[in-house]
Amino acid sequence: MIRLLLFAPLLFVGSRALAFQLDELTKYIDSHQEEYVQTLREWVAVESDSSDVQKRSEVERMMNITAEKLKAMGGNVELVDIGLQELPSGNSIPLPKVVTAQFGSDPAKHTVCVYGHVDVQPAKKEDGWATEPYNLTDLNGNLYGRGASDNKAPVLAWIHTVEAYQALGIELPVNVKFIIEGMEETGSNGLDAMIISQNDTFFADVDYIIISDCGWLSRRPALTYGTRGNCYFFAEVEGPTQDLHSGVYGGTVIEPMTDLIGILDTLISPGGKILIPGIPEAVAPLSDEEWKMYQDIEFDVENYKQKIGVSHLMYSSKVDLLAHRWRYPTVTIHGIEGAFSAPGTKTVIPAKVIGKFSIRQVPNMDPAVVEKQVTDYLNAVFGRRKSPNKLKVTMVIGAKPWLADTQHPLYDAGKEAVKKVFKVDPDMIREGGTIPIAKTFQDVTRKSIIMLPIGGFDDGLHSQNEKMSRYNYIEGTKLFVAYLHEVGQIKRD
């Protein structure tokens, strides 16, 4: 009893000191939000589209801007060469260098590594944007621009977090490392090899890895503990040696487009059931614990339908929708290359068409196995058509799913940080999309990983009118500030 009485005042004083520091940091962030928005405006103005080799210089410029920003803060910064990218023409061009940085090297502290990317998806005003995609536009509290949410604002929020500690002379509670790339939107080319090569150097003293390349499910803040993988396929059907006139040759040749549509139609049923043998059977059943977790998540089905502009969904219950969005695989047909798609009419029989589709995969599914299952199945289906045309199936992306332990102290720290900043408990969610690097980090470094999102549920990632709300950007920075403190309190094993 005496020992408890002696220690109680010390605990109380410590909590007061923390509250004062957090308050000072949040006030600093509030007072610098216009500066933060201006920096985001400058970053969004860089058309760092990694899918377009003609804009590779813009991606490289974005990497240099990022490196200079971190150098100006006193970080130990490197631009790491990750090799060459081979183009379809057979030529090769350099991959954008990866930026690494370090702030602090105190062996008594935990070391966190923040991952992010500063490349973006393609965007044009004529695609349906209400504003110029590379001119950050502040409307009704939202900051519209390509890459605003995915992933430039979250990267900047982490940088501003370190800046805030520095500006107030408050010691960082953990050592902070950054690894920022410029090829995430096209599969993180070269990054896996870099992580492997630097596992015993850059990552040697890293305790935890933080990824903020994701978003909330609703207006309630969230912590993300899982993502689906992605196997992306090309199904190429080749027939005549050249395109043909449908009036002259229609009815006499077996058309590649007809074959392609025929085999694509066998991938998934109208009700959403994957028809490829072996894939549905690989999925782990939904446990009672997961069902209960999904029940407690804030998710408005009607609002979800309204947001995406549909009258009906594949499933009607919240649990079914979330489960099929996060922890069941799905097939999506994305498009057909070689088909006529321009406005107007063109009576052509394409000589070669390439169907593009992907399978979002979940834990218990392996890309190499999925590749064989899909290839064997489509070849069998095509064979039954008795077509003289040629089919070639290629898997061009094989990204693995990722799943974390929600009982890890990283997630406890996340819950505490969310409570401090937003005064609510976070939703525990998974992502339907793919962040391939999470699984690489997990497999190679063996470090614990958390996804700590600040993006909004309606940010429109990869879509027209992508935005980051000013609220999420500024309050998200405060969340990161609080989170570093909470991670600093994690006891060492």
Annotated binding site for Mn(2+): 117, 150, 185, 213, 462
Tokens of 345: 């009419």
Count other C-beta atoms under 10 Å from residue 274's C-beta: 17
Which residues does the annotation place in the binding site? 117, 150, 185, 213, 462
> In the annotation, is 119 catalytic?
yes
Nearest CA among 487, 329, 488, 477 for reference residue 25: 477
Report the run of H or E that residue 255 belongs to, with start and end: none
Catalytic residue among 119, 236, 255, 466: 119
Q: Are 210 and 178 in contact (CB under 8 A)?
A: no
* Residues β-bridged to residue 349: 244
Tokens of 268: 């998934």
Residue with tokens 């929600």: 406
Catalytic residue among 47, 49, 184, 427: 184
Q: Which amino acid makes up residue 87?
A: L
**CA geometry: angle at 248 spanning 246 and 253, to 5°?**
65
Query: How many residues appear in the chain?
Result: 493
Q: Are 161 and 477 in contact (CB under 8 A)?
A: yes
3-state secondary structure 168-223: CCCCCCCEEEEEEECCHHHCCCCHHHHHHHCCCCCCCCCCEEEECCCECCCCCCEE
Count other C-beta atoms under 10 Å from residue 156's C-beta: 26
> In the annotation, is 184 catalytic?
yes
Catalytic residue numbers, as ranges: 119, 184
